[in-house]
Structure 1
């Protein structure tokens, strides 16, 4: 069981300066994945179906992360670099000083959905 009841509780528990980024990210993911469910998995909010997470997000002490499939990150590595953001195999980190562009959120979420086949 998650320690967060829902996305609102997760966002409220995040550092105050990161909350606007999380609110924006949540809204953007809801727009680009309108039929996906809001889920909490591994104590992180995300969007998906049943137990398949298409896109999840997290807040840390000074930055946030958007987590998608490995293929989505690989397919958009140039876009991530062009935005001046850092990535791992499954995530992109961003901060209030360097937010993630909305079009990049869209590309990553849709690519993740395609790869996962949901």
Structure 2
């Protein structure tokens, strides 16, 4: 994808099969992070709280990724594994056929946001 200016442009440029998943992730993250500002960094749409990117998402050729601050992922590592997902230090990748459960995305976003000093 070319350089993207905003969330809408990113989702519109993503493969058609991924657009509903990306729209849903955006809505989940927006709901979990009402204080966050939508932004784009490193060509990925994300959410920033007080200058820190606390959540972002991306579409790849065969999967989608959702990303958070390291402590949020590590605090939920066992639950992520039990749900059948593999996580990196900062994110979880998944296919549109088996998305990360909504409640887990919400809790990860909120945990990530709590890492930002107020």
TM interval, short-chain normalised: over 0.9
Tell me the secondary structure at the aligned position of residue 17 of structure 2: coil
How many correspondences in the alignment?
117
Question: Normalising by the residue count of structure 2, what TM-score does the alignment of the two structures yield?
Answer: 0.93
Which 5+ residue runs of structure 2 have no aligned equivalent? none
CA distance in 1, matches of 2:50, 2:78: 31
CA drift at 1:116: 2.5
CA drift at 1:117: 2.6
Once the two structures are overlaid, the 10-residue window that deviates more, 42-51 or 87-96, is: 42-51
CA distance in 2, matches of 1:3, 1:50: 24
Question: Normalising by the residue count of structure 1, what TM-score does the alignment of the two structures yield?
Answer: 0.93
CA distance in 1, matches of 2:29, 2:11: 15
CA drift at 1:50: 5.4
Which 5+ residue runs of structure 1 have no aligned equivalent? none
CA distance in 1, matches of 2:117, 2:71: 12
